[in-house]
Structure 1
Amino acid sequence: MSKNFKPLYVQVAEKLTAQFKEGTSPIQKPIKENGLPAFVAPVNPITGKGYSALNAINLALKGHDDPRWMSADTASFNNYQVKEGSKGTLINFPKKNEIQAVRRPDGSKIKDDDGNTVTRTVEFDKVQNGKAFLFNATQIKDIPPLAEWLKATQRPGDLSPVEKAEKLIRDSGAVIVHGGEEAFYDKIKDEIHLPEIEQFDNDTRYYQAAIHQLAHWTGHESRLNRQMDGNLGSVKYAPEELRASIAAMLIGAELKIGHSFGQHPAYTGTWSKMLKDEPFEMSRAAADAQKIANKLLGREEKREIIQEATLNTSLSKGEEIPYNGTSYKVLDKKGRNFEMEKADTGEKFKLKPTDKLFGNLIDARNNPASQEMELTAEQTHKIGR
């Protein structure tokens, strides 16, 4: 059991950084050695719901071929059992309330006539960072085989991956200009440029390229209005390229058409440095990628299991955040930067969203409980008993 558990965005940033250097990340290497997709959309097989981008990436980095994930409690409730010694994988979700035991003044729990603990639902003033540990189907006994589950979830008359991609492109309303040798998005003209479909190795490659450029297309000021500074291939453009690559991976998994990294391997070095210097950028990139995927897939941002609200990833004037034995007060916000004061020393300083302290304060504010633990299957089963 390890305490002081690293925040999820730090874990994902570190794993991806290591894989970027090795060239083995699911973004760079869409197909595994066994021929299966490197990234599949993780899903709870009981509810049929998926997981938001940061959680989905963390689950996928475990390398399982089976996309089914659930908590130990969910497994137990459905007469499955987590295999002994299995370790859970962390996910985060926004939490507005919590069920707590009703206690007496001395701290003991109040029981009802049947001996069950009396509970109450406590609403939080601010959305907090909920945590859960999930287990893959390969870690669970008695769960139906994947092939059997996939057959049961197939719907008659469902569109093929290519047909789904065609519909997504058509529904977007984007202007697509065919011709030339390169695939790119012209943010000035608000046009996507693609080579003719015959110039690609196959139809799938064409639609993968189109989806990637559609991800960039969503950044226009009339749509999601992202910062898209710099020219294609530049260091300034690298954050946008990371968002589009993650979004294309999410959408490709959803449509079952996969994704292609394209001709941008030079970005991985910049991404590695960016995530090493500022791990919280992983959280921002994943959140933006989720917005891109939601927009292009035509759905509201309600995909996350148990999700009721979006976590606040910025600071507000007047806010005080306890962190690392002291407290930090937000005195003012000027542009994208913040004027801060450290309570114990009265020191005033400026804080940028790219500073490491910014991410630490956001995490401390959203997740007041700083002591976390890694749960094994046995420990998870004990929760709630």
Structure 2
Amino acid sequence: MTFRRKTDQPRRDVAREITDLIVSKLEAGVLPWSRPWGLTGAGGRPLRHCGTPYTGINNLFLWAIGDAAGYSARTWMTYRQAEELGGQVRRGEHGSPSVYFSSFSKTDANRITGEETQRNIRFIRSYTVFNVEQIDGLPAYYYPVAAPAEPRIESVHRAAIDAFFGALPATVRHGGDQAFFSPIGDYIQMPRRGAFRSDDHYASTLGHEYIHYSGAPSRLNREFGRKFGDQAYAFEELVASIGQCLVCADLGLPGELHDNHASYIDHWLRILKSDASAIIKAASKAEQAFAWLKEQAGADTAAAEPEALAA
């Protein structure tokens, strides 16, 4: 009988696990990054045990996991962190991977000349985290307090909306019945503000177009697709859709999407099924765009820093 050493076990493909979950959500007609924050009683991004928000793909993945499991708590932590806080992960609970990027240098030698060159190779590592609703015995402030739903008062958000978008540099034109960013004219076109069901919907749509605006060659220089349906166009829409929801989360708004975004789901699925790293790249680009907007608005960008290299 041949025994396999532990080191011979197949390596866990975390990128594929994440992509498979996102694909399953999309196939079910759910956009996992469009979380209805106001319904949980604890809106906003997922948090580490110390209160720091997750970013990038961890933000999307833990949103999706939390929605699938029905968690209303935002906070996640490792088994050891739970123990250090006096908690205990309940028997039978399964953790979720949280990823981070690391790198190492490799020296390549030219077999003919002997010249050596250095290559920096990035790779994904993961550790396991648990939602606080899977853990007993933590300090009470980690657990969400159930609160009756309150009607959303638009005027509460109006000041935050105006302060954020009013500080951004784009030319925003109003009129017509379409919302888009014009790369040629370098402006954002929006329907009249009063045409939207609420200021929240207006701000959500404007956030989507501002993510597109951030990718222009003179700014973050993302590649735009040349026609509807091509790979680059669909990827850019995926970035804008995710980035839009980051803007909404930051302003405390609902993650409403354009009505026509359903038409992109098939394109997104084709991208994600063909490339397990696509959703990670899209989340990273969306995070970069959101951080750029925050910087332009003069806001605190601490929540949009790259993923930490340790739990």
TM-score under structure 2 length normalisation: 0.77
Q: In structure 2, what is the equivalent of residue 18 of structure 1? A: 24
What displacement does 1:296 show? 1.5
Q: 1:191 to 1:302 in 2, by over 3 A?
A: closer
Corresponding residue for residue 3 of structure 2:
none
1:6-35 deviation line (CA, Å, top 9, x unaligned): 4332222211222212102324x6439x94
Change (3 A) 1:232 1:183: farther
Q: CA RMSD in A?
A: 3.0
Q: Deviation at 1:47? A: 2.0
Gap runs ≥5 in structure 2 = 1-5, 105-119, 148-154, 296-300
Could you list the per-position Cα deviations for residues 66-111 of structure 1 after superposition, in whole angstroms to 9, with x for gaps in the alignment? Answer: 11111111111111221112111101113479xxxxxxxxxxxxxx
Identity across the alignment (%) = 23
Residue 42 of structure 1 corresponds to 46
Tell me: CA distance 1:48–1:301, structure 2 relative to 1, closer, same or farther (3 Å): closer
- The answer on whether the counterparts of 2:186 and 2:213 sit within 8 Å (CA) in structure 1 is yes
Residue correspondence of structure 1 range 103-114 to structure 2 within 5 A = none
Instruction: Please show how residues 154-303 of structure 1 align to structure 2 within 5 Å.
Output: 160-232=156-228, 236-262=232-258, 263-298=260-295, 299=301, 303=305
Alpha-carbon distance between aligned partners in 2 of 1:284 and 1:96, rounded to the nearest angstrom = 17
Summarize the Cα distance change of 1:291–1:304 in structure 2 as closer, same or farther, 3 Å threshold.
Answer: closer
- 8 Å CA contact retained: 1:176, 1:194: yes
Residues in 2 aligned to 1:279 and 1:78: alpha-carbon distance in whole angstroms: 35
Amino acid at match of 1:290: E
The answer for the alignment partner of 1:306 in structure 2 is 308
**C-alpha contact (below 8 Å) 1:30/1:38 kept by paired residues:** no
Q: Which runs of 5+ in 1 are unaligned?
A: 98-124, 151-158, 309-385
Residue 139 of structure 1 corresponds to 134
8 Å Cα contact 2:53/2:303 also seen in 1? no
CA distance in 2, matches of 1:238, 1:274: 8
Aligned residues of 1:291 and 1:301 also touching (Cα < 8 A):
no
More helix by percentage: 2
Letter matched to residue 51 of structure 1:
Y
1:341 aligns to what? Answer: none
Contact kept in structure 2, 1:80 and 1:140, CA below 8 Å: yes
**Tell me, what secondary structure is at the counterpart of 1:41?**
coil
Q: Which residue number corresponds to residue 56 of structure 1?
A: 59
Q: Distance in 2 between matches of 1:180 and 1:36?
A: 35
Count, aligned residues: 269
